[in-house]
Amino acid sequence: MSNFPLRTIDQMGNELLLERKPERIISLVPSQTELLFHLNLNKEVIGITKFCIHPDTWFRTKTRIGGTKQLNIELIRQLQPDLIIGNKEENEKSQIEILQKEFPVWMSDISTLDDALQMIHNVGSITSATPQAEQITAHIEKNFSSLLPLKKTVRTLYLIWHNPNMCAGTGTFINDMLQRCGLKNTAEGIRYPELTDQEIVDLNPELILLSSEPYPFKEKHIEYYRKLAPAALVKLVDGEMFSWYGSRLVHSPASFNSLLMHLQ
């Protein structure tokens, strides 16, 4: 029995009506694009962004509708989607408002693992892929239950940009991932604070994590931050494990445990 027409409310409180099962979907966010792949929506997804690198087959074959913050509105219009899926933080409000006037747009707003699990459930519901979504969320919950407990508090700084030094602060999804690992985020106050070198010295973190995205930290950056915090362990980490809130979360706990083993 069909669930359509379906009236639903997204994670930003927007109400939208889907007259029928979506058959022409555009995804505006990399982590949610990968989720749609794992929901087996290959035929339905017709457009993705240039940053939607997973899966590689989609990256090479699907129509790219610009970047997450620089959408090609005219190309989206030409594709005539019957569902667009975006995110509050990753997409520009003004562009989303334009699209909402013309198409059904479902927006996520995610700062915790619980938000991410709810998003996966909701996206499964509006795309008629609830069984697959439930399998994914169950797998994620099971894997997160296996996180290694830390025996001590580790003061941590998670950097996402270099020159200026920008880090993930409180209220971010990354912060929630750090907390679930038992790590104490030293960057408090705002979501993405910029820190001077002296402020990093003053924070005196015990662990500095250099993310692979959005800034591509490399081995050469490790020594720079070691000089600022000589007592800290400085490590490169896969940013997708900490910041992608779709089906990639299945793999995050194993990555986190590999890190936590060095801190016991």
150, pLDDT greater than 80: yes
Domain count, the chain: 2
Q: Are 115 and 178 in a shared domain?
A: no
Single out the residue in 143, 169, 188 at which a domain terminates.
Answer: 143
Would you state the pLDDT for residue 43?
A: 98
Which residue type sits at 159?
L
Q: What are phi and psi of 177, to 5 degrees?
A: -65, -40
Q: Tell me the β-bridge partners of 77.
A: none
Residue span of the structural domain in which 62 resides? 6-143
In a domain? residue 149: no
Q: Are 133 and 176 in a shared domain?
A: no
CA separation for the pair 44, 258 (Å, rounded): 36
Q: What are phi and psi of 39, to 5 degrees?
A: -90, 5
- Find the mean pLDDT for residues 70-88: 98
In a domain? residue 181: yes
Would you state the pLDDT for residue 3?
A: 83
Among candidate residues 247, 250, 241, the one with its CA nearest the CA of residue 41: 247
In a domain? residue 1: no
In a domain? residue 148: no
Q: Are 53 and 164 in a shared domain?
A: no
Single out the residue in 109, 143, 177 at which a domain terminates.
Answer: 143
Among candidate residues 247, 243, 35, 240, the one with its CA nearest the CA of residue 141: 247
Q: Is 22 exposed, middle or buried (0-12, 13-18, 19+ CB in 10 A)?
A: buried
Q: Are 94 and 177 in a shared domain?
A: no
Which residue type sits at 10?
D
Report whether 71 contacts 27 (CB < 8 A).
no
Report whether 212 contacts 239 (CB < 8 A).
yes
- Find the mean pLDDT for residues 3-32: 96
Q: Report the share of the chain in percent with pLDDT over 90.
A: 94
pLDDT tens-place string over residues 152-165: 899 999 999 999 99
Would you state the pLDDT for residue 2?
A: 73
CA atoms within 13 A on the CB side of 221: 19
